[in-house]
Amino acid sequence: MTISIANRARLAFVMVVLLGLVAWALWYYLAAGRFTTYQIVTEDSVSGLIAGAPVEFHGVDVGRVTQVELTGPHSVRILFEVENDAPISRATVATITARGLATRGFTGYVYVLLENTGTGQGPLTAAPGDRYPQIPTAPSRVVSLDTAISQVNQNVQQLTDLLHTLLDEKTIASLRATVQDLQRVSHTLAENQEKLGSLIANTERASRRLEPLLDSSTDTVQALQQVSRMLAGHQERLSTIITNTEAASGRLGPLLDSGNDSVNALQQQVLPEAYRTMTALGRLTNSMERLTVKINRDPSILLRGSAQPPLGPGESE
């Protein structure tokens, strides 16, 4: 039985499809043997990360993201394939990073960055109960231009609200008054510029004279320090002198009292008697002087006495 041309065409088409499927299965098997699937679990935002996003190891493409799924209210699991020759180990850390200007569109994209910055050692294996090995994550660096502009806008809005709160009418009026006062002060300083110059010159001259005074003050301070050190060295002797002086001051009161009594006795008894004695001695001295004059005039008095001589011829009583 002969086969028609139409049947031959159908048979050829089926054969081509079968060969394509076999080639695709072979390619898929070989490709699947070149990659290992890993997972990461993060609570950071993964906005912009989609299936097919690249996976880089120190900046080199080593795989792609295969699945991004939400596993909880604040938890996201990401599956990605990495080439077997990539040096994945316990020290590998995954970081979700944004490159470009935005997280969506043609100006940028989000990818997974792998780096050996951890402290672990040895190959990375799946934990008991997990299907894929899990790579620890670092804080994501998904900071793009649109999110940055949004944050800047929020900061500017907060700053504007703060300025509105601080710069009320009373504060503005106070600032205006302060500016006016500063203007008046600057005007006054400008008008008295010559006086200020003279004051500065006088201050400069006084500062030159101040140095000798400081030197003398330094010498005085040093002398006082020496005196204080000397007093500190003779502290025991000073204490003894102070104690003796205190004891002597206690005995000085009775001595002063007896001195007062003696002075009173001298004034009331001894001095009047001495005064009378001195008066008598004065009179005696005068008598002796008169007698001496008489003797000098008439030494015969010593022999005849002081009686008057008889009257001579022609003398009458």
Spatial neighbors of 98 by CB under 8 A, at least 6 apart, are 48, 108, 109, 110, 141, 142, 143, 144
| Residue 66 counted as domain residue | yes
| Residue 25 counted as domain residue | no
| Residue 133 counted as domain residue | yes
Q: Cα–Cα distance between 100 and 27 in angstroms, integer? A: 34
CB of 141 within 8 A of CB of 95? yes
| Residue 76 counted as domain residue | yes
Dihedral sign for Cα 220, 226, 229, 231, please.
negative
Distances (CA, A) of 136 to 108, 128, 139, 143: 25, 16, 10, 20
| Residue 58 counted as domain residue | yes
pLDDT of amino acid 305: 62
pLDDT in tens, the chain (317 residues): 455 677 777 778 888 888 888 887 777 666 556 888 999 999 888 888 889 899 999 889 999 999 999 988 889 999 999 998 888 898 999 998 876 544 444 445 789 999 988 787 888 888 888 889 999 998 877 655 556 677 778 888 888 888 777 777 778 888 888 888 888 888 888 888 887 788 888 888 777 776 766 666 677 667 677 777 777 777 777 778 777 777 776 665 666 666 666 667 666 776 677 777 777 777 777 777 777 777 777 766 666 666 566 666 666 65
pLDDT of amino acid 26: 72
| Residue 210 counted as domain residue | no
Domain span at 135 = 33-143
Q: Report the number of distinct structural domains present in the chain.
A: 1
| Residue 56 counted as domain residue | yes
pLDDT of amino acid 107: 44
pTM, entire model? 0.40
pLDDT of amino acid 102: 45
Q: Cα–Cα distance between 263 and 256 in angstroms, integer? A: 10
DSSP state of 74: T
Q: How many residues does the chain have?
A: 317
pLDDT of amino acid 97: 86
Residue with tokens 């790579």: 135
| Residue 293 counted as domain residue | no
**Coil, strand or helix at 66:** strand
